[in-house]
Amino acid sequence: MSEDRWTDADDAQFAMHALPDDHPIALTMGVMTALDNPAEHQELLRTWVTPESVEDWGNFSEAATFLRSHTLGVLGTVRQYEGASDVAYVIAISQEPDAPMRMTQEDEPLHPAAVFTWIWRPDEGNWRLHSVGEGWSRPERLPRTSPDDAPYIDAQAFPSGSNVDGR
């Protein structure tokens, strides 16, 4: 909080800290922290990814290098496709070093530096990270075990008519 008034950055920090530990945004923050030293946190990182993608992650060094190539901030809004509540996209954007956290507006154009694709996996007991990349993985191309059946998270649907590049 600034010395004399509450700011949007204060709203964003408050919202982030109020999230449950198993929320995709909180999990993304944990993954980003663990990727600061993937060798030390490799076993923890393996517990956070989908079983189908464990081999693709290798030792997590490629993901760490990719994320280190940007100064990232995680947006405080999860995005989802209609009819796919079991897939959550957490968006990281490039920002200036030491920039404050912020919340997104529903109609704000998205220019992600990285998209964290989370899948609700009741067989694993939580959300699992499937991929981190520059594009969106369409739900029908993901290893989903409970299509459109996930615990409620406060998310925004992609705006109708949006030009979302789904792989």
Full pLDDT tens readout for the chain, 167 residues:
556 786 655 555 655 666 778 899 999 989 999 999 999 999 999 999 999 999 999 999 999 998 888 777 777 788 899 899 999 999 888 766 666 555 555 555 556 788 999 999 999 889 999 999 878 889 999 999 999 999 989 887 765 444 455 54
Between 8-18 and 24-34, two packed helices, what is the crossing angle to 10 degrees? 90
pTM: 0.80
Residue with tokens 């509450």: 6
**Phi and psi (nearest 5°) for 32?**
-60, -40
Strand partners, 126: 121
Domain boundaries, the chain: 8-138
The Cα 53–Cα 151 span in angstroms is 22
What is the Cα 82 distance to its own chain's centre?
17
**Topology (CATH level 3) of domain 8-138:** Nuclear Transport Factor 2; Chain: A, (3.10.450)
